């Protein structure tokens, strides 16, 4: 039987609709959530992602500010821009689009963002909070995947979850979120031996390795839930995920499409983080004795 499709576009639309009343409540208090997006250089994929994020902000009532810096910008200037945004009360969320040109250290850049404005949830204060089970800002892609799993009624407790990919922005936080929900989690990566033997054990398989169609049908347990994080541009210009969807659809129980799966969820969770940052700022401003 063909796998059920987890429709990320539709779930993301629900998440975004639910933000409407929260944005209206902020507006009633004279607050408009604001997101600053910094893009360095001219990476064509980053341009598209940033444009999508800005459009989504407009549709949600979030003010977006796009700061485009030249590829050769020096680190001090970039950090200075972030410090200015940290101090700007109209900006509740700050995001630096990755990847950055090689001369810039992404760790230092992310750490310059005030943790309470970290709309991406990449700052070590927020990833550390996730590690110890406190509430910080969650990284958008893994947080969005958890919403997709929950909305699809997929039980996690005691299940085998396998995450392929160990990046700081997807693989590692994804594993922590699954662990928090009592799944038994394995993280696989480029040095993993006999990857298919491990992926075949997964009740929930998250593919975030960044290689087109790398997960074949033979690597998937029948009935498994397969989450495809990949967005790979093929030579003919078309998009492919990290999963060979056409073949895996006949084996899996659930599958996310590319496009229209994880991608729209990432954007929806970014908006949610931004609205939450504005709510927290408004609450702390109203309890401020000054």
Residues with active-site annotation: 53, 97, 120
3-state secondary structure of 206: strand
Residues that bind ligand GUN (CB under 6 A): 95-98, 120, 140-141, 169, 266
Nearest distance from C-beta of residue 208 to ligand GUN, angstroms = 11
The total number of residues shown for the chain amounts to 290
Q: Closer CB to ligand GUN, residue 168 or residue 216? A: 168
Nearest distance from C-beta of residue 270 to ligand GUN, angstroms = 7
Q: Closer CB to ligand GUN, residue 136 or residue 253? A: 136
Q: Closer CB to ligand GUN, residue 120 or residue 279? A: 120
Nearest distance from C-beta of residue 184 to ligand GUN, angstroms = 27
The answer to whether 162 touches 201, Cβ cutoff 8 Å, is yes
Q: Closer CB to ligand GUN, residue 50 or residue 226? A: 50
Distance in angstroms (rounded) separating the CA atoms of residues 28 and 22:
10
Q: Which residue in the shown chain puts its C-beta closest to ligand GUN?
A: 98
CA distances from 51 to 38, 39, 98, 175, 249 (A): 12, 11, 14, 29, 31
Q: How far apart are the first and last CA of the chain?
A: 63
DSSP label at residue 131? H
Nearest distance from C-beta of residue 251 to ligand GUN, angstroms = 28
- Parallel, antiparallel, or unpaired: how do β-strands 4-5 and 254-255 relate? parallel
Q: Which of 263, 278, 20, 272 is nearest to 145 (CA)?
A: 263
Q: Closer CB to ligand GUN, residue 98 or residue 206? A: 98
Nearest distance from C-beta of residue 169 to ligand GUN, angstroms = 6
Distance in angstroms (rounded) separating the CA atoms of residues 228 and 245:
9
Kindly report the number of other CB atoms within 10 A of residue 32's CB atom. 13
């Amino acid at each position: 039987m063909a796998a059920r499709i987890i429709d990320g576009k539709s779930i993301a639309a629900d998440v975004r609709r639910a933000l409407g009343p929260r944005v209206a409540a902020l507006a009633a208090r004279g607050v408009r959530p604001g997101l600053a997006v910094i893009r360095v250089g001219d990476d064509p994929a980053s341009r598209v992602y940033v444009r999508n994020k800005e459009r989504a902000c407009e549709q949600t009532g979030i003010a977006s500010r796009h700061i485009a810096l030249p590829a050769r910008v020096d680190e001090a200037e970039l950090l200075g821009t972030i410090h200015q945004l940290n101090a700007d009360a109209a900006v509740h969320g700050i995001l630096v689009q990755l990847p950055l040109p090689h001369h810039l250290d992404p760790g230092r850049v992310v750490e310059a963002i005030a943790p309470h404005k970290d709309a991406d949830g990449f700052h070590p204060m927020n990833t550390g909070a996730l590690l110890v089970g406190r509430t910080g800002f969650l990284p958008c892609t893994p947080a969005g995947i958890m919403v997709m799993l929950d909305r699809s009624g997929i039980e996690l407790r005691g299940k085998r979850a396998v995450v392929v990919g160990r990046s700081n922005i997807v693989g590692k936080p994804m594993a922590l979120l699954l662990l928090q929900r009592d799944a038994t989690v394995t993280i696989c990566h480029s040095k993993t031996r006999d990857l298919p033997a491990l992926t075949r054990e997964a009740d929930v398989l998250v593919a975030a390795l960044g290689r087109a169609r790398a997960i074949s049908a033979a690597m998937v347990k029948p009935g498994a839930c397969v989450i495809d994080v990949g967005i790979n541009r093929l030579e003919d210009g078309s998009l492919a995920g990290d999963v060979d969807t056409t073949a895996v659809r006949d084996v899996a129980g659930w599958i996310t499409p590319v496009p229209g799966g994880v991608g729209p969820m990432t954007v929806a969770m970014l908006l949610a983080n931004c609205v939450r940052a504005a709510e927290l700022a408004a609450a702390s401003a109203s309890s401020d004795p000054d």
